[in-house]
Amino acid sequence: MSKLLTISIPTYNRSGMLLVQLNWLLDELAAGLADQCNIIVRDNCSTDDTRQVVELWKATIDPAIDFTYYRHEKNIGGMANIVSCINHAAGRFVWTL
């Protein structure tokens, strides 16, 4: 059975804000929603420390949280990255941040 909601986050060179969003989501999922949601981050080939921020964050969360990180090999553009998020969603509904 698929999840009810995919929370998709397209990102490019905004590791600080991404960490804020991920921590906020973690607080919300802790309210009993983790089994109904999955989170995907599609990194548009960031040149900052986005990958490291995601790896550190992922290492601190409950492994039961359905979380996927993908980094494009090249920058595909903002709209294409958003489409990529939607195309890889597993939920019945998609919320793109």
pLDDT digits (tens, 9 = 90+) for 24-66: 988 887 777 788 889 999 999 999 999 999 999 999 888 888 8
| Helix spans in 2-77 (H) | 15-29, 50-60
Instruction: Give CA 60 to chain center in angstroms.
Output: 15
Instruction: Give CA 87 to chain center in angstroms.
Output: 13
Q: Is this prediction's pTM over 0.85?
A: yes
Burial status of residue 48 (CB atoms within 10 A of its CB: 0-12, 13-18, 19 or more) = middle
